[in-house]
Structure 1
Amino acid sequence: PFAGQAVRVSAVAADITVEEQVATTHLVVDLVNDADQPQEARLLLPVPEGALVRGFAAAGLGSAEVLPVAEAEGIYAGIVARLRDPALLEFAGTALVRSSVFPVAAHGRQRVSLDLEQVLAADGQRIDYVLPRSESLGYCVPWTIHGAVHASSAIATVYSPSHALMVAPTTAPGVRSFSVATTAPGNFRFSYLLGGAGVTASLLACPDGPEAPDRGTFLLLAGIPRSAGGVPMPRELTLVIDRSGSMNGEKIAQVRAAANQIVAGLGNGDRFNLIAYNEGVDLFAPAPVLKDADSERAARAWIASLLAQGGTNIHDALAAALAPAPLPGTLPLVLFLTDGRPTIGQTSERAIRALVSGDASQRRIFTLGVGGDVNAPLLDALALASRAVPTYAPSGSDVEIAAATVFGRLGVPELTSPQLSATDALGGPVSGRISDILPGPLPDLFAGDQLVVLGRYVGNAPLTLTLSGTHAGAPRQLRFTFTLARASAANAFVPRLWASRRIAVLIDAIRALGADGGHGGESLKELSDEVVRLSTRYGILTPYTAFLAREGGPLAAPAASAAAAPVFRKEAMEDRASAGSVGQSVNAKAMREAACVNARNGLYDAATDKVVDCDAIQQVGDLAFYRRAGGWVDGRAGATAPTRTILRGTPEFAALLVRLQREHRHGCLALPGDLTLVVDGETVLIAELR
């Protein structure tokens, strides 16, 4: 580099095509030379073992070769020693593509393209793809990724635990395409499941570590196709509309349009009712009616007559929606809309929640909170207790679009009231094999859904899981047997996703304690202590544990728990209806539904209406490290001081690198500055050789 200005990567584009398990990756890397003189560059690109170079171009010149792992590690080590920068150590154990030297003009740009080919690994019906990328929080290069998968058999689902995929709709059963635009760090991973007319499932497992190899965390992935046989269960939908005074103007106009759209979207055999409420409750019909041309015409006229005025009687409106017994053989659904908190009639949160717990018909209550003055913990509780989902439309957003989006996910159910259990090969119950299943309870499964279930397992024997529920009014069981022989620390995203969901469940419980002015008592301490423990262990930031990201913030109990308790009390329990409370629900929902890792710990901030990232918590494998005093501290160390020091570049350091590679934790050695690390229960300082 000239005058300290290195050639830098400004953007990367990846086009991935998979044909019958053979993946071709076309990479385009854009380089920029900010120096006043031309420079020479060489591309070093970590690649999966077994990948082959099929093409390379840099301004029409150059070549590239794949170096095996052993030779690549020598190059990584040489660069680290020369530049005294440990960053490349995260790629130890990875093959390397090395290009020839090519020029980059002063203040110029160069585009390098590379074509890789590899045969993807299969685990049963699941095919996995991994493209190595830096896990460093400082890696902010924008990537655009496009993928297309072609298979001779049907593809049940495509899933990425690392990045949120935008999957394009298709009618071809053996074709899936997706795209990603991201600056988030970490390997890009995706898997696809092959299947047919039935449900296809696969298991990814991660053991707890060398200290407990016989237990760990699992992720069950399943694609839910539309069934060819049987009559789909019709829906019985009750749309409950807030028409209090605060809904006046544009909001009630948008709600009228949304209600018309929802009624029109109901199918043959579906039934519906409409309820509007302020201080009183008005019903379109005494009980849900069959959707046909006459009932739709009458509903439109009723909707057009709605005026917004008065208070908000949530209790009586919900009681009216739950009162009629649903028609047998239908799936009873409620879409409950409000823009405020209960102000008239019975206003007790606990009394309103009791309506759901006492609903023998087990209606699914999908809540839609509009604006920032709703009681978000209450709406969350109503939805989650009934196998449904809460949704929020921020102030100024289009209520019609929000309501239509919620209704759009309520398609034809393929499996209702599903349950997951460990069984023997004949379906008999087996106790003690799995626990802490999330989500719990499982939601109803609709055609096209992707089911991602996380839980804990014990034992290394083959695991049989049975997914049971109701399909087309009749009981249905789906049984899958998985081997745990491939449980691997390479699947470290599994326990982190499980911990994220577990934290959300605990936060929901803490927020529920604040209903009607409750104080929580010992329950608050027990729940908040567990949130702090999981947050610290897995590097998962919450709005209540922000102190973990601050310099000097405590990492060990009881100091960390003491720091969290007042925040939980003030924000999670006392703040019931505000934009901040809605923001807490938005963050809790993201964690509750987590299916891909949140590497930068982005949290929604209601004050700015933006997601704010954190650069002080680095997730590496199944570990988490916290920036402290210019270095990094293992979350497991807490306040424990190191008892010995290992210097970088020494034989002892090299041996530690090899050991951590086996555990898929070696990326921590790439963190800059001094590193405090727990090794076999001992706290060790990793320092520079000075």
Structure 2
Amino acid sequence: MRKRVRSGGRESAPAATAVIREHSAMSTMLRFLFAAALLGAAAFALPATADSGSLEVQRGDGSHAAVASLDTKVDLAINGLVAEVRVTQRFRNDGEAWQQGEYLLPLPEGAAVHALTLRIGQRLIVGEVREKEAARSEFAAAVASGRKASLVEAHSANLFRTVIANVAPGESVEIEIGYWQQVDFRDGEFSLVFPLTYTPRYAPAQTDALPEPVSEPASEPVSESKAAVVETTTAITPAAGARIGSPTIVIAATLDAGLPLARVESATHALAIRQNGQHYAIALADTVVAADRDFVLRWTPQPSATPTAALLRERSGDEQFALLMLLPPTQPAGAMPRELVLVIDTSGSMEGSSITQARAALDLALQHLTPVDRFNVIQFNSRTTALFDHAVPAAAKDVALAREWVAGLHADGGTEMLPALNLALRDAAPTGYLRQIVFVTDGAVEQADALYTAIESQLGASRLFPVGIGSAPNAQFLRKAAELGRGSSVVIRDLNAVGESMQQLFAKLDRPALRDLHLDLPVNAEVYPQRLPDLYHGEPLLLIARLAPNAVVGRGRIEGQLAGAPWSQALSLDLQGQAQGLGRLWAQRKIEALDDALRRGGDETALRSELVAVALRHHLVSRHTSLVAVDRTPQRPADAPLQTVAVDNEAPAGSVAFAQTATSSRLWLALGLLALLVAFLLREREGTLR
């Protein structure tokens, strides 16, 4: 076994001195010009308070004047397995010109966005769902005629573009967005996530070619793949014009879990909790926080109250909807030889604490291997590199080599995920081995459709386990990749959580999954997900269905395979509780299924028509429908210009601003000062060398 080492030789001292003398005058001048340019950019691009949620400009006399500000309040009402959420954004125009504010609002994956209210003083304007182009046309006409208007449309994945136009100088306008969200339950605890920011998404190169195979022996490390290296900028580009720093956030929640709880907590934010019986009023201990990480709320039932099944129903007009949760029995861990393929994202968006967490996660996975296992390690950024040509036996020397290789990885470049995914899915497992792919990433990709198609077409008998990294990972991608890859996902938000999160993953990898599930109901029902997932340790089956208006379900049965043997369980589907929002959550899952059918090349006209009809019927935002609210009274004079103000999202906690779309003024200032310092030190060094 030979380890590949790329040497970085040093020039001798006389040669280095000669080079320095030869370029002394020109290099010194260029360094100072570069530093001056950076400082100029810092002074011009953003005000010093750009990270505070307000925008200031500098007057000619050196004083500063506020132009605009944005505050956000989140109210969560959690009842059992469903949450209703209201996000209120208050935009204030502190400048002297009429303004239009724009903001990318991250929402939880699977959120059913249905409501938009525009509050102007004492007046309320309620938004309506329109087809996307019709909503844009209505918004544009309102803006041109001087009327206040707001638009909410799906931007990509779980990002929603929010625009408010024709805000008068000195005026405040509130936008309230409402959505329904399903509560998660796994590993014995409930949780709800509200994303406060997002990791900027990378637009991958359009290539689906596999890396070319190499001719080296299987036991030798592999050179970088032949995949095209394309330097592509982030696809989500902030709008031109003035900019506001990221908004500050206030969060309040009410929790009625429906069962006695052992604890309520958050690993991401300090909480202030008031309890009255089984009712909890929850707020942030710090009242107002920066929007630089996901807000995660968890609540754990008392051991005697841990649910094994639940059924909720909602009647809406002439339709009936049901949400079913079933927790299957836990199986003991068994000796299952596996071929474990570990894939790590080393792109620029992983810089900072994320790459540290990712390396630690992979190191634990490598230590978890047994001598009967096989493994390989793949890293990707703008290029894809595998440690071995194919998976090798988990011999102690090869595992040690892999741990050393992983420890030396650093984050840089783009997120070219598709070549790495193709390489990981390329091989089939040897007979008698379970093939598992652990994919460690922040999921910061803009267009994931090609990735989903690759998973579906190449998965075979492999199973994909995404591991989300960082304080604001792309939850939509992680959940969808796990669903299509018939695996499970975990999220590591902090370096201190690596051990616990990886142990949860190992518990799933080490135990047999409940596979090939089939649900038999005594009535006709449209159930989502349409293809039931494999279930792993600690995971329930969560289904949402539309039933006939007067259906009396009674009992059903679920069947599948567990550890290679038939398994079945009777289901008691008697009404256990009522819930609101199930109709819209069902419609959101149906819309997602129609989007998947479009991605797979289905009849675009028919599928799009059905998707729009579902979205309009249930008043939901989708790829093809948007919410628009328009005031009927013109206010902005026809000759008054309209200034666009884009609101920056906060950089995720622990990340490095180089990975962001827009570099903050503080970073530009730091870069400028650093450049001046480096130029000064190098100039002094040149003088010494002379």
Q: Same fold (TM over 0.5)?
A: no
- Shorter-chain TM range is 0.3 to 0.5
TM-score (norm 1): 0.41
**TM-score normalised according to structure 2 size:** 0.41
